[in-house]
């Protein structure tokens, strides 16, 4: 069979021309936006760079890791401006009049543009779920560790922590040391569904081992029938608890460094434990609505 000739072939040529022009405007918009974002970020973090005086390679890493996320946030505006400029150019050069004279309606001429915009929207949604969380996490890590000189989040000592293991089990730690993998000032409380205290465990220190938690200088109190309290003091004791050290030192990532599925799982866990999740629901919904705004 020979090549397709006639109106259909002419329409395909017009489609390729419109798509090429549209992608050219989008590429120019992305280039201009990238330069503006790098300049704004450099000015925004200039004071921090001057104070800490990090190597230039760290500054470059920080800016480049932040760039894709910033471009993602500005993508709807880039697509909008590119669309407006495309049709303004077609109007000024009388190309729309030529298309109408050839029997191609404005709706048919807009079809390839809409398909390209839809493809960009789908691609941005996929990038949000796969690439952007990792890049945002790396940008945050470079800023925190390499530029400001702080420890990574998972190695920072934390104080005065309350941890809700379940609806009836609560832990309080005065100090959590992820490097030593230990807890100081540990308090574990178990209650009944009717909020009656069942037992309480106090320990000055708890060290995580392969066999479980090694508790030091502690007291275990159990409340029996008639509110009778049984006290069991110990100097050192190995116990097994549902909570492991990785459960306690696991660092919660910011919503920007989580994908939609990760954030939805985190919101579900917060809701099950009775925490307020309103602000996280806004972030969760935006991960669906923002790509579609493109």
Interval 149-204: pLDDT, tens: 766 665 555 677 888 777 788 899 988 887 788 899 999 999 988 888 999 999 99
Residue 1: the pLDDT is 43
DSSP per-residue codes, 240-258: --S--HHHHHPPPPPGGGS
Q: What value does the mean pLDDT take over residues 215-235?
A: 91
Q: Count Cβ neighbours within 10 Å for each residue of 124-141 and write b for 16 or more, e otherwise.
A: bbebbbeebbebbbbbbb
The residue written with tokens 């760079």 in the block is 49
In the predicted model, what is the mean pLDDT of the chain? 85
With cut-offs at 50, 70 and 90, classify the pLDDT of residue 289. confident
Residue 68: the pLDDT is 93
Is residue 216 within 8 Å of residue 234, measured between CB atoms? no
Three-class secondary structure of residue 131 per DSSP? coil
Chain mean position to CA 59: 22
Among the listed ranges 36-45, 143-152, 212-221, which one has the minimum average pLDDT value? 143-152
Of residues 275 and 278, more confidently modeled: 278
Three-class secondary structure of residue 3 per DSSP? coil
On the question of pLDDT at 71 being above 60, the answer is yes
With cut-offs at 50, 70 and 90, classify the pLDDT of residue 10. low
Q: What value does the mean pLDDT take over residues 88-94?
A: 91
What torsion do the CA atoms of 182, 186, 189, 190 make, to the nearest 10 degrees?
Answer: 20
The residue written with tokens 């390679």 in the block is 57
Could you tell me what percent of the chain has a pLDDT over 90? 39
Q: What value does the mean pLDDT take over residues 54-82?
A: 92
Residue 195: the pLDDT is 85
Helices (H) and strands (E) in the chain, counts: 9, 6
């Amino acid at each position: 069979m020979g090549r397709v000739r006639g109106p259909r072939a002419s329409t395909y040529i017009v489609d390729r021309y419109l798509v090429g022009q549209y992608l050219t405007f989008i590429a120019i918009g992305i280039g201009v936006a990238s330069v503006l974002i790098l300049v704004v970020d450099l000015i925004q973090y200039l004071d921090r760079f001057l104070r800490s005086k990090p190597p230039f390679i760290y500054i470059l890493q920080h800016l480049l890791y932040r760039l894709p996320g910033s471009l993602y946030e500005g993508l709807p505006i880039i697509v909008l401006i590119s669309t407006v400029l495309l049709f303004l150019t077609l109007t000024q050069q009388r190309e729309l009049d030529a298309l109408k004279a050839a029997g191609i309606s404005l709706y048919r001429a807009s079809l390839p543009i809409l398909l390209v915009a839809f493809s960009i929207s789908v691609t941005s949604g996929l990038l949000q779920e796969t690439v952007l969380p990792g890049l945002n996490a790396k940008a945050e890590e470079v800023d925190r560790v390499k530029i400001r000189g702080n420890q990574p989040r998972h190695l920072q000592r934390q104080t005065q922590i309350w941890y809700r293991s379940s609806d009836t089990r609560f832990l309080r730690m005065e100090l959590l040391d992820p490097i030593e993998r230990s807890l100081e000032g540990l308090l574990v409380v178990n209650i009944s569904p009717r909020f009656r205290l069942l037992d309480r465990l106090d320990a000055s220190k708890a060290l995580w081992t392969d066999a479980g938690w090694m508790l030091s200088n502690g007291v275990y109190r159990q409340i029996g029938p008639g509110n009778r309290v049984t006290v069991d003091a110990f100097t050192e004791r190995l116990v097994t608890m549902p909570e492991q050290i990785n459960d306690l030192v696991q660092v919660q990532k910011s919503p920007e460094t989580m994908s939609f599925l990760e954030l939805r799982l985190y919101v579900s866990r917060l809701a099950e434990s009775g925490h307020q999740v309103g602000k996280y629901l806004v972030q969760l919904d935006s991960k669906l609505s923002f790509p579609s705004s493109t």
